[in-house]
Amino acid sequence: MTKEKATYIKEVEVERERIAKMKEMGRDEYDVKRQEEVVKEGLAMISNIHKKWLIAYNDLKETLENSQDLSESEEYLAAKEALEQAQLALESP
């Protein structure tokens, strides 16, 4: 999901730049509004991705908390590492 989020963030940046150029050039207001809608859709997708991450993060965290008896297993340790990486991703903008 990190790549997907990064893609949408980049798309929003590009579209915002495009809107600024369109306004500078005096482009039709309708075209500008269409581009602004693209930005809104991109921001909504970023928000949706973040919500999905949060749900997955909380599910994994709960599973690990309920599986302390497996704390020495390779799978548990890998899941714990994934949880730590996910936490970092959730904290980044």
Tokens of 29: 């207001």
Residue 86 is predicted with a pLDDT of 86
Residue 90 is predicted with a pLDDT of 79
The pTM of this model reads 0.74
Say how far apart CA 27 and CA 76 lie, in whole Å.
Answer: 56
Q: Which CATH number fits the domain that encloses residue 19?
A: 1.20.58.90
Instruction: Dump pLDDT digits (tens) for 29-44.
Output: 999 999 999 999 999 9
Residues 6+ apart with CB under 8 A from 2: 89
- Total structural domains within the chain: 1
Residue 47 CA neighbour count, 13 Å, CB half? 6
Residue 18 is predicted with a pLDDT of 95
DSSP character string of 31-44: HHHHHHHHHHHHHH
- What burial class does residue 44 get, using C-beta atoms within 10 Å of its C-beta: 0-12 exposed, 13-18 middle, 19+ buried? exposed
List average pLDDT for each run of 10 residues in the chain, which is 93 residues long.
Answer: 86 96 95 96 94 92 92 92 87 71
